[in-house]
Each structure stands twice: as C-alpha cells, then as structure tokens.
Amino acid sequence: MTSVCLVGKDCIAKEGLKGMLARAEMPVSAEYDDSSSLHLQQAPTPDSLIINIDTGVAEVDGDIIEAVRRQKTTYPQSRVVIVSSRRDVPAISAAFSTGADGYILRDISSDGLIGSLKLVMSGEKVFPTSILPSGTSVAPANTDAAPRRSPLSAREMGIIRHLAAGESNKAIAIALNIREATVKTHVKKILKKLGVANRTQAAVWAIANGYDKPLQ
C-alpha cells in the first residue's frame, strides 16, 4: 500500500485532507511542516504519494517549488502533488517543470480530489481542467517520451512553447525572428485547432501535454 505524506504549515488544510483521505481508505502515514524535515521520523517510502499544501501566499511559492524539486530528487519514484489556490499559468508551469505529478486546486470536491490522487498514483499527470473550456481534450503529459499526436504544425509547436512561458506576441516574434503579425495569425490558428478560447487555455494545454519544454 502506497504511503501518503502531507507537507505544509496549514494545519486546518492538513486536518481536512486527512479526513477526506481516511474516508477514501487512503490514510496519511506521516505529516511534515516543510520538505526539509521529510527525512526525519517516518521517512517516505520510495513510492510514496507526497502532497504539498501551498498556503496561497505569493512569497512562499518559491519554497513550494523548491520543495517539489527536492522531493523528486530524493525520492524519484514518489508521486508528488501540489494543492494550491493559485490557478495562473506560471504557477502551474513551474510546478510541472520542477517535476510535480499533479497540481490540484483547493476548491476541488472531495470526490474530485480522491479521483485526481488515484490518477496520479496510477502514473497520470493531473492539472486543473476547470480553467479549460468544456469539451477540450487534454491528454496527460508523458515526461519520459516526446509528446505525441499533436494537432499543431512545427511552427505552431514552437510558438505554443513560448505561450506556455507567458510571452507576448512581440517577445515571441523577436525570439523566432518573424513578424509580430505572423505570430498573431499563428496564435489564432492554434486556438482554433485546440478548441480553446484564449492564450491562457492554450498555454495550459501545452503544459498538460508536455509541450512547454524548449526544443532541443
């Protein structure tokens, strides 16, 4: 049975999660105030599910991301999840680029939380689909292989990587040495092909599918 560890200073959130997990027969085996204390007392097993609780305060975001990086380095076989109230693309992108296996919003339902955690434990990547329009198809990212079945052209793939980084049309044009109007045209085509409403949703699609990494 996979051990479940909670990491975070928010005692109320930890108690709430413990209750939901216990009802789902996923009891918490250990709790820690921060990632640096994971090796103390009852250390996670290699295949642990480590849940990091973000307080939602901007100043601690770097600490959460660094915690994930440390956890994946020390326990590479573990599954690492962030529970946060932040739903902006930079936060989600930073989480996955650091090695997180899941990013779950605090306002998720109990059933949704348990379902998401079970997906993570089965090897899937989970992110907040609520910021995508209904009907959008998003496949889990595969961090061990190149992305597959992209509906985008090679040029569009280059552009969406820049969108995932939050860059403006002007910045993308400079980086790719093309006209800004050309970037704008490509972005419109990308939105249409993906069936999303705006740049943010396209960026989340890219992050979820592993297309936010720079081309080698």
Calculate the CA 188 to chain-centre distance. 25
Q: How far apart are CA 191 and CA 211, in angstroms?
A: 15
Tens of pLDDT, residue by residue over 46-100, are 678 999 998 765 444 567 888 888 888 888 889 999 999 887 777 777 788 788 8
Looking at the structure, give the CATH architecture of the domain made up of residues 154-208. Orthogonal Bundle (1.10)
- For 4-131, give the CATH class: alpha beta
pTM (two decimals)? 0.66
Instruction: Show me where the domains of the chain are located.
Output: 4-131, 154-208
| Six token digits for residue 61 | 């975001």
- Supply 112's token pair: 């949704």
- Asked whether the beta carbons of 72 and 99 are under 8 A apart, the reply is yes
Q: Do 154-208 and 4-131 fall under one CATH topology? A: no
